[in-house]
Amino acid sequence: MSIDQAVLYFYIYSFLGWVYESILVSVREKQWTNRGFLIGPICPIYGAGGLIFALMGTHMGIPLTFLICMVSSAVLEYFTGYTLEKLFHASWWDYSDMPLNLNGYICLPASVLFGVMGVAVSHFIQPLVAVPVGYLPEWAVNIAALVLVGITSADITVTVSTLSNFVDKLVEIDKRINQAIDDRYKELGSSVSGTIRSVKAIPANVREKIIDQEILKSNLSLTGVQMKVLSKIKSFRSHSGEKYNGRIREFIHRLPISKKTKPGKEANEHDDQLR
């Protein structure tokens, strides 16, 4: 296997992993969900895992292959999840609700499934994939590898620039919304714990207006690319380590797509509606 062929296998398995993840999550959430860290239709962690499984070949027995694939996939998934969260304070998957999980990055059921997938790739899928790739002329493999790497590099650049320091801004808005709801509740002569989900006495329509008002005041607009990247994130974590799940995702899609509106004016209109 040449380096360029290895690159092609990496992208083939990255794409297949994206298809698997997207279908699995879409069925679970009952709506189409575009999975993966990047904007394009690939999941690099599956590409890395698939390439490792492909390199293992069929010379080992299935039980040993399963064990090695299960352990190596767990190590890869934990390292990737930990690194992404440290870099961007965000997680693209979260096993916290699964049994026998480790910090939400990995869990035994998922690792067992990856072990089974490793056996399938190394013993059955890779021999089939290798046939059409083997027929490609060397120049075609070289060009395809270069083009794919170039596209992915651009994708990574856009994704990283979108996420840099952006999650912290969302966390700050979340805190401001909680504080605004808390202040509104105190105006009614009571107190509240300060979290959106615990607010029961405030009417739903008033709560919605408070959230929209604070978002407009933040003067924070999202491009279509930013919306696409952020919609893939499973959970968020601030610098202090505090975790935010549904509350941030609850209002991400309320953020303006572009800066065509005048936040100050609309915020005042919402403010008038609240009085």
Residue 96 pLDDT class (50, 70, 90 cuts): confident
Instruction: Determine the average pLDDT of the residues in 94-119.
Output: 91
pLDDT above 50 (res 275): no
- Condensed to tens digits (0 to 9), the pLDDT of residues 159-206 reads 888 777 676 677 777 777 777 777 776 666 544 444 444 445 566 777
- Condensed to tens digits (0 to 9), the pLDDT of residues 5-25 reads 999 999 999 999 999 888 988
Phi, psi of 98, deg, nearest 5: -95, 150
- Condensed to tens digits (0 to 9), the pLDDT of residues 58-73 reads 778 889 999 999 999 9
More reliable by pLDDT, 148 or 54? 148
Q: Specify the range with the lowest mean pLDDT, choosing from 36-50, 99-113, 172-186.
A: 172-186
The answer to whether 66 touches 112, Cβ cutoff 8 Å, is no
pLDDT above 90 (res 268): no
State both tokens at 263. 């936040």
Residue 102 pLDDT class (50, 70, 90 cuts): very high
For residue 255, the model assigns a pLDDT of 67
Phi, psi of 175, deg, nearest 5: -65, -40
Instruction: Determine the average pLDDT of the residues in 119-125.
Output: 90
Name the average pLDDT for the chain: 78
